[in-house]
Amino acid sequence: MMIILVLFYVWGHIFLFVSLISAYSVSFPFHPMVNLDCSRDFRPFLCALYAPICMEYGRVTLPCRRLCQRAYSECSKLMEMFGVPWPEDMECSRFPDCDEPYPRLVDLNLAGDPTEGASVAVQRDYGFWCPRELKIDPDLGYSFLHVRDCSPPCPNMYFRREELSFARYFIGLISIICLSATLFTFLTFLIDVTRFRYPERPIIFYAVCYMMVSLIFFIGFLLEDRVACNASSPAQYKASTVTQGSHNKACTMLFMVLYFFTMAGSVWWVILTITWFLAAVPKWGSEAIEKKALLFHASAWGIPGTLTIILLAMNKIEGDNISGVCFVGLYDVDALRYFVLAPLCLYVVVGVSLLLAGIISLNRVRIEIPLEKENQDKLVKFMIRIGVFSILYLVPLLVVIGCYFYEQAYRGIWETTWIQERCREYHIPCPYQVRETLYTPCSYRGMEERLPHGSMSRLTDHSRHSSSHRLNEQSRHSSIRDLSNNPMTHITHGTSMNRVIEEDGTSA
């Protein structure tokens, strides 16, 4: 047995050595062209042809036709000068066209076995291949799945049309309800300004922020995908794609208002916990807290403004082809992590810490210091009001954050599945119920501040754009659907230079 293994080992190395010598002898006439660097594509073409990438058994690689054409067009004159002909086995028409919008089956004979006509199926040697319909003008700086000059398809590529239609109307209904609730809160404040004094006045600014958020989502509902998506161009084989960057002014404006007031609303909630803490622990009065109002406003509007400017400078705007708005982190996981998830988690940690400290302090006062019956009742009501409002805010927010983390964990799987399926069903195995869970806190959280003051407030956009984010990638149901019509083709990972060829079962 040992002798057989040694023979296989020695024979394998001899075969490899002979193959290398053969490849060197065949490619030797082209060395002048390589040394003179007639084309930057000539060396990769020769390597792809005579020294292909090692793959599993039954697979060989062929260079792409465009790579061959570029190498030939740039080096043909130099080859004529040296008297080197272009061999028949290097004719560009023999190689697969990697830039075709629809992969096709081709029949090729494997080198070294001309008697056996093996039918082979062409496969992409790409981690992700951007179809022609999704390619974008390079000047716009688009990217999709780490491929530049490519954009996600519109409508969403993860869900069926009936799910998308339901989500759109769900968003519209929730935005109307929350807009009405927060507008009612703001009008109540205008009627009686003295009713909302510190430490509770941040509730008004908090409601105003989510009134603007719900207004933007209502506008997005009316616009549908006219702003969030680039129009299709059938004459140029261009599908409708997701808007990215700041070149679309309407999309940029929607993003600025939505993101700014989303973050501002969360900051105002933290400020609300700060004012409650100051009233509960150091026992600050309303006038003392109000003296810090300028600092509160500088923080509440300055922090979101700074983040918004940074995102504009980084060109991180993305269209939401479900809600019709534009936001950040819908396809860019890093932007979602650092500009949405991180701030929300920070606000939760700070706010909860201050709330717990304030409630513990108030409870200690209630237990240790004897108070009159009336003062005891006021203190208990104040504690209950703080607790109820905090729960009504935190529960839906934690649900949203949980969905964001779920997305972080499974986004790669959804994207990989979509690539492998070639948009076959336009429905990646992403639990649709998780998306709907994200929408529910919108309406729920939009009403919680009504309880402390008899008025309602806001639409939680976190759920909204998060849900739209999940819904945010279904491919166009017209031309791109044809990408999946060929059951013999699928995507494999590797270099974009080669196409992988797999033998048919009969030839293997």
Give the model's pLDDT for residue 258: 95
CATH architecture of the domain formed by 154-487: Up-down Bundle (1.20)
| Cα gap 34→424, rounded to integer Å | 43
Q: What are the DSSP E strand ranges found in 100-211?
A: 106-107, 119-125, 143-144, 147-148
- Six-digit token string for 497: 């230079």
Look at the block and give the residue holding tokens 């309303």. Answer: 286
- Six-digit token string for 172: 């519209």
DSSP string across 431-456: -HHHHHHHHHHHHHHTTTTHHHHT--
| Predicted confidence (pLDDT) per residue in 454-504, tens digit | 433 333 444 444 444 443 444 333 333 333 333 333 333 333 333 333 333
Give the model's pLDDT for residue 326: 94
Distances in whole angstroms, Cα of residue 504 to Cα of each of 374, 378, 422, 487, 501: 87, 81, 21, 13, 9
Residue 209 in contact with residue 268, Cβ under 8 Å?
Answer: yes
Among candidate residues 187, 382, 209, the one with its CA nearest the CA of residue 297: 209
The burial of 273, by beta-carbon neighbours within 10 Å (0-12 exposed, 13-18 middle, 19 or more buried), is given as buried
What 3-state DSSP class applies to 392?
Answer: helix
Specify which residues 244 forms β-bridges with: 318
The burial of 245, by beta-carbon neighbours within 10 Å (0-12 exposed, 13-18 middle, 19 or more buried), is given as buried
Specify which residues 410 forms β-bridges with: none
pTM of the predicted protein model: 0.61
Residue 495 in contact with residue 128, Cβ under 8 Å?
Answer: no
Give the model's pLDDT for residue 176: 94
Residue 73 in contact with residue 22, Cβ under 8 Å?
Answer: no
Q: Are strands 318-319 and 326-327 parallel, antiparallel or unpaired?
A: antiparallel
The CATH T-level fold of domain 36-126+493-508 is Frizzled cysteine-rich domain (1.10.2000)
What 3-state DSSP class applies to 344?
Answer: helix
| Predicted confidence (pLDDT) per residue in 490-501, tens digit | 333 333 333 333
| Cα gap 494→64, rounded to integer Å | 13
Rg (CA), the chain: 31
Give the model's pLDDT for residue 499: 38
DSSP for residue 147? E
Give the model's pLDDT for residue 368: 66
Q: What are the DSSP E strand ranges found in 203-325?
A: 229-230, 241-242, 318-319
- Six-digit token string for 143: 């990217």
Amino acid at 271: I
pLDDT digit string (tens) for the chain, length 508 residues: 444 444 444 444 443 444 445 555 555 566 666 666 677 777 788 787 777 665 544 455 678 888 888 888 888 877 777 677 877 778 888 887 775 433 333 433 334 443 443 333 334 333 566 777 788 888 888 888 888 888 888 877 777 788 888 999 999 999 999 999 999 988 988 888 777 788 888 888 989 999 999 999 999 999 988 899 988 877 666 778 899 988 899 999 999 999 999 999 999 999 999 988 888 888 888 888 889 999 999 999 999 999 999 999 999 999 998 889 999 988 888 999 999 999 999 999 999 999 888 888 877 776 766 656 666 677 777 777 777 878 888 888 899 899 888 888 888 888 777 766 654 433 333 444 444 555 445 444 555 554 444 433 333 444 444 444 443 444 333 333 333 333 333 333 333 333 333 333 333 3
| Cα gap 175→14, rounded to integer Å | 72
Look at the block and give the residue holding tokens 């639990």. Answer: 431
- How do the domains of the chain map onto residue ranges? 36-126+493-508, 154-487
Residue 497 in contact with residue 44, Cβ under 8 Å?
Answer: yes
Among candidate residues 176, 215, 152, the one with its CA nearest the CA of residue 419: 152
Q: Are strands 491-492 and 106-107 parallel, antiparallel or unpaired?
A: unpaired
Compute CA 263 distance to the chain's CA centroid, rounded to the nearest angstrom. 19
| Cα gap 214→202, rounded to integer Å | 18
What 3-state DSSP class applies to 367?
Answer: helix
The runs of H, that is alpha helices, within 224-281 are 249-280
